[in-house]
Structure 1
Amino acid sequence: MDLHALRSFQAVAEGATVTDAAAEARITQPALSRALKRLEDEVGAELFHRVGRILRLTPAGRVFKEYVDAVLDSYDRGCRAVAEVVDPEGGVVSLAFLHTLGTWLVPRLVTGFREAFPQTRFELHQADENGLAQRLLDSTADVIITSRDPGHPLITWRRLLVESLWLAVPVRHRLAQRQRVRLAEAAEEQFIVLKPGYGLRSVTETLCRQAGFSPLVGFEGEEVETLRGLVAAGLGVSLIPVSREASTAPDMNPDLPIRYLQVTDVQAARDIGIAWLASRTLPPAPQRFVDHARSVTADATAAPAPRG
């Protein structure tokens, strides 16, 4: 059985057109169509049916794909294991992480790791909380860095650090001259939040409920920097992560006139952790990265109040 044909089958089964899959495989579309037909002959069943211009899996195709995924994953891991035997200081770390951690924590961890293991390559992916867990389950990532325990029986999660959350308000806001605030005092404010599925969104909703109200959502974004910008524009308030490891105090940026207030009536913080599949032995390079991440963040805590 041709591994290239299996990869093309997998690509088409996951939604790629035959044209795109053929381009990825660097063969012609008719050649790919013939390869898929040979695969069906070998399996002894029709694997696809056509819906307009799209190929959809048949029931037999859905069953077959589960085994194809397992075969290709096992083959790829075998190749990686051999490569790491040949070059034990190298290897590949496939790492997925929250968007909000791409500005400070992930660069810090990757930079420190590569100083010790400069030959290691990284494959980096960003996703929301649900997408991160799925990347582990799909074996498209070795390790994820996320803001909460996925709570899945097949996933092992370990806390790395605790990140403080501060109430960000515009500089001309009625609370802007304060240093501390009860979150309940913002119950009537418009909240600028991330979209559902992002960890910071669920943490914000949980903290507001603990403070006795449901947040009035004024805007849903996909990046924390967008939240900061809209707060600075006076469109609402937001719970923003501020960590000791951040490169600069965000409220010192003259382009973002924001004040950050310490929240006193609820424990405004979120866990940041690292996770991997419990049922799978990590290859050497990802295991070294997990050990590195846990070591350099040991006893890390949230930042003191931002300056400004």
Structure 2
Amino acid sequence: MEWHHLEYFKYLAQIENMSECARVLNISQSTLSRAMKNLEAELGVPLFNRIGRIIKLNKYGAEFLKTTNNIVEEMDIYKTNIIDTTNVYNGKLKIGFLHSVGVTYISEFLKTFNLKYPNVELKLVQNDAKNLIVMLDKGEVDIIITTVEEMNKHTHFEPLIVEQLYVTVNENHKLGERNEIAIDELIDEKFILLKTNLLLRRQIDEILKSYQFTPKISFEGDEVIT
């Protein structure tokens, strides 16, 4: 069943004249007639009683007109909703971000964004880098803020900031007042790190591995803030 056949049917039901309806629709009468025959053949019932040049809906046509009106109305609602949700100034935007971003940048970003686009409805989702990529690929989020660059061909990566990694120690630690620390000076230290399934942890492991350094770990957490 073709969408424009439903439109033709609605107009013909109102005008009740094949040639006049064809003129209004700016199509040939033969095109309109063929469309109605195809529609009736697909439904398996006649939709009109033909009396000379005048055609009127029969009982099957009257019922199908109700269905057609419902379909067209639902489609109009859908189109309106799509326009609203995709409008850059009035739509909806779903943002996925890392837990670490949630305690650093996201609040300032949202403040600035809301001032510029007050009518855009935002929805936020926190997750780790791997799951954020999956959610983006599935269309479950529109944008993600993450540290990963290995995007597939369907995604675009735009660098926002470059961050440095630091070793954090207690102020009374023997290295507490140092501005720089060599990796081999940490060989006897115990580390608090993220869990191995998280991207930042994998990045740290790669750095330490390049120095042939295996850290002693006292605790592994799920979030940077922990």
Q: TM range, normalised to the smaller chain?
A: 0.5 to 0.7
How many Å apart are 1:78 and its aligned residue? 6.2
**1:82 lines up with 2:95 in the alignment:** no
Residues 94, 142 of structure 2: 8 Å contact kept: yes
How many Å apart are 1:88 and its aligned residue? 5.2
**Hey, what does 1:128 align to over in structure 2?**
128
**1:167 lines up with 2:167 in the alignment:** yes
Q: Secondary structure of the equivalent of 2:167?
A: strand
Letter in 2 for 1:102: G
Residues 97, 145 of structure 1: 8 Å contact kept: yes
Task: Call closer, same or farther: CA 1:79–1:163 in 2, change over 3 Å.
Answer: farther
**How many aligned positions are there?**
149
Q: Counterparts of 1:79 and 1:125 in 2: how far apart (Å)?
A: 26
Q: Counterparts of 1:98 and 1:163 in 2: how far apart (Å)?
A: 14
1:87-166 counterparts in 2 under 5 A?
89-166=89-166
**Hey, what does 2:37 align to over in structure 1?**
none
Identity rate, percent: 27
Deviations, residues 193-226 of structure 1 (Å, cap 9, x unaligned): 1112322211211121223312222211012121
Letter in 2 for 1:218: S
Pick which of 109-118 and 152-161 moved more.
Answer: 152-161
Task: Call closer, same or farther: CA 1:90–1:140 in 2, change over 3 Å.
Answer: same
Residues 191, 216 of structure 1: 8 Å contact kept: yes
Q: Counterparts of 1:185 and 1:92 in 2: how far apart (Å)?
A: 50
Letter in 2 for 1:203: Q
Larger of the two Rg values belongs to structure = 2
Q: Secondary structure of the equivalent of 2:168?
A: strand
Pick which of 181-190 and 141-150 moved more.
Answer: 181-190
Q: Counterparts of 2:146 and 2:81 in 1: how far apart (Å)?
A: 25
Q: Counterparts of 1:125 and 1:98 in 2: how far apart (Å)?
A: 9
**Hey, what does 1:203 align to over in structure 2?**
203
Letter in 1 for 2:169: V
Q: Counterparts of 1:164 and 1:88 in 2: how far apart (Å)?
A: 34
How many Å apart are 1:84 and its aligned residue? 4.5
Task: Call closer, same or farther: CA 1:82–1:188 in 2, change over 3 Å.
Answer: same
**Greater strand content:** 1
Q: Counterparts of 1:212 and 1:123 in 2: how far apart (Å)?
A: 43
**Greater helix content:** 2
How many Å apart are 1:168 and its aligned residue? 0.2
Q: Counterparts of 2:174 and 2:211 in 1: how far apart (Å)?
A: 19
How many Å apart are 1:145 and its aligned residue? 0.6
Q: Counterparts of 2:205 and 2:81 in 1: how far apart (Å)?
A: 42
When normalised by structure 2's length, the TM-score is 0.60
Letter in 1 for 2:149: D
Q: Counterparts of 2:141 and 2:218 in 1: how far apart (Å)?
A: 34
CA RMSD of aligned residues (A): 2.1
Structure 2 residue ranges without an equivalent (≥5): 1-77
Structure 1 residue ranges without an equivalent (≥5): 1-76, 227-308
Q: Counterparts of 2:148 and 2:88 in 1: how far apart (Å)?
A: 32
Higher relative contact order (CA 8 A, sep 6+): 1
Q: Secondary structure of the equivalent of 1:96?
A: strand
How many Å apart are 1:81 and its aligned residue? 3.1
Task: Call closer, same or farther: CA 1:155–1:214 in 2, change over 3 Å.
Answer: farther
Residues 88, 120 of structure 2: 8 Å contact kept: no
Q: Secondary structure of the equivalent of 1:159?
A: coil
When normalised by structure 1's length, the TM-score is 0.45
Residues 94, 124 of structure 1: 8 Å contact kept: yes
Q: Counterparts of 2:81 and 2:104 in 1: how far apart (Å)?
A: 29
